[in-house]
Amino acid sequence: MVQPGSTIGILGGGQLGRMMALAGRNMGYRFVVLDPTEDSPCGQVADNQITASFSDMEAARQLALLSDVVTYEFENVDAQIAAQLERDSFVPQGSELLRITQHRVREKSTLTSAGVPIAPFQVIQSEKDLQKAISVLGLPSVVKTATGGYDGKGQWVIRNEKQIPLAFQEAAKTGLELIVEQFILFEKELSVVIARNLQGEVKAFPAGENIHIGNILHQTVVPARISKEQAKRAEEIAFKIADALQVVGLIAVEMFLTTDGDILVNELAPRPHNSGHYTMEACVTSQFEQHIRAICGLPLGDPSLLTPVVMVNILGEHLDFVMEKVQQLPNTAKLHLYGKAESREKRKMGHINFLAPSVEKALQQIDQMQIWNHPEERNHG
């Protein structure tokens, strides 16, 4: 067990690291963070920041030497850096989980071997491969880079045959490995954040219903507006994954609830997740506290939901409206800002958890704030 009072090193100084450090400080842990940006969101609340590139081996070594345990807030950690950290420090999440979740093909093969349903896909290397794959998968389909994609970057939806050549050309420009995947007609997108600690104890947070605008998470609604059986199935899938991958720490499982009522896994993230921010005030234990408990080998906290909640993201374009209206927020709305120096369109600047007697009431409160329902905002959807 890593005792409270020990130092936790975080690779990455963004908002996920910041909220991890805020939760961990309450528990008595100290924090050191490695990030290339001076005064990073996490650096502002940590004991110490090492300002250096993520590929700087010496900086990674320094982080490891200062830390009793090391974790990360993003999955695209360089393999050599991960190896360096593992040599000089305790990295309970291990590098295997990173290796799998960094690469869509490895991730999908692992899920399939674990008996977890996913969208049908094929690896492609040429336009001809893409043509052939689409004749099996059908249209629409979506080409994705195997590595490096997030918030819809590195994705090209193909709706008719004429779009195939251009989609391939654009995707090939990245120089990355490519896959094509059947486009799933979904009723809802769901996610389950689940924790497994050093001793193998596993606990899942309630499934969230995720609403994206322009491929970026906009809202998470909890409880998700799905049947009890569907919620149970989503949770079962998450348990299966945590077990099969021998996860330590958190893993977020993003899923599609299809129009046929099936649940397919889309993607995994081996860290706290934007769709788990609702847990900060709405659950007995937040995802950030749970992550720290898991990697430090403490017993996991109770993940039960205390109240219905809707989490809504504050992107750069929302920030001025939020500041103007901060006094009008209901007194059960919990504002979190990440301390980013520069506000840009589409950049995640903060979020608000609207706690309410029902999710309908929370959605109504959000609507009344008139922050997220500007016409230009709707057009992005």
Beta bridge pairs of residue 253: 192, 268
> Cβ of residue 133: shortest distance to ligand AMP, in angstroms?
13
State the alpha helices, DSSP H only, in 302-373: 316-324, 359-369
Tell me which residue of 370, 102, 98, 116 sits closest to 233, measured CA to CA.
116
What the block records as the tokens of 297 is 């080998």
Which of 189, 281, 289, 317 touches ligand AMP by CB under 6 A?
189
Which of 54, 74, 183, 239 touches ligand AMP by CB under 6 A?
183
Which residues inside 93-122 make contact with ligand AMP, applying CB under 6 A?
119
Which residues inside 2-41 make contact with ligand AMP, applying CB under 6 A?
none
Considering beta carbons, is residue 42 or 97 the nearer one to ligand AMP? 97
> Cβ of residue 151: shortest distance to ligand AMP, in angstroms?
7
| Cα–Cα distance measured from residue 143 to residue 165, given in angstroms and rounded to the nearest whole number | 12
Considering beta carbons, is residue 188 or 293 the nearer one to ligand AMP? 188
Residue with tokens 């008996």: 115
> Cβ of residue 135: shortest distance to ligand AMP, in angstroms?
17
Which residues inside 225-254 make contact with ligand AMP, applying CB under 6 A?
254
Residue with tokens 């995720």: 210
Backbone angles phi, psi at 116, to 5 degrees: -100, 130
Considering beta carbons, is residue 176 or 202 the nearer one to ligand AMP? 176
**Which residue type sits at 189?**
E
Which of 142, 245, 282, 310 touches ligand AMP by CB under 6 A?
142
Residue spans of beta strands (DSSP E) within the chain: 7-11, 30-35, 48-51, 69-72, 121-124, 141-145, 155-158, 178-182, 186-196, 202-204, 208-213, 216-222, 249-258, 263-269, 309-315, 333-337, 348-355
Number of residues that bind ligand AMP (CB under 6 A): 13
Which residues inside 244-303 make contact with ligand AMP, applying CB under 6 A?
254, 266-267
> Cβ of residue 190: shortest distance to ligand AMP, in angstroms?
10
Which residues inside 147-176 make contact with ligand AMP, applying CB under 6 A?
149, 152
Backbone angles phi, psi at 79, to 5 degrees: -60, -40
Order of strands across the sheet that contains 141-145: 121-124, 178-182, 141-145, 155-158
Which of 167, 184, 248, 250 touches ligand AMP by CB under 6 A?
184
Q: Which residue minimizes CB distance to ligand AMP? A: 184
Per CB under 6 A, the segment of 105-113, 180-188, 339-347, 352-360 that binds ligand AMP is 180-188
Please give the residue ranges that form the binding site for ligand AMP (CB under 6 A).
Answer: 119, 142, 149, 152, 181, 183-184, 189, 212, 215, 254, 266-267
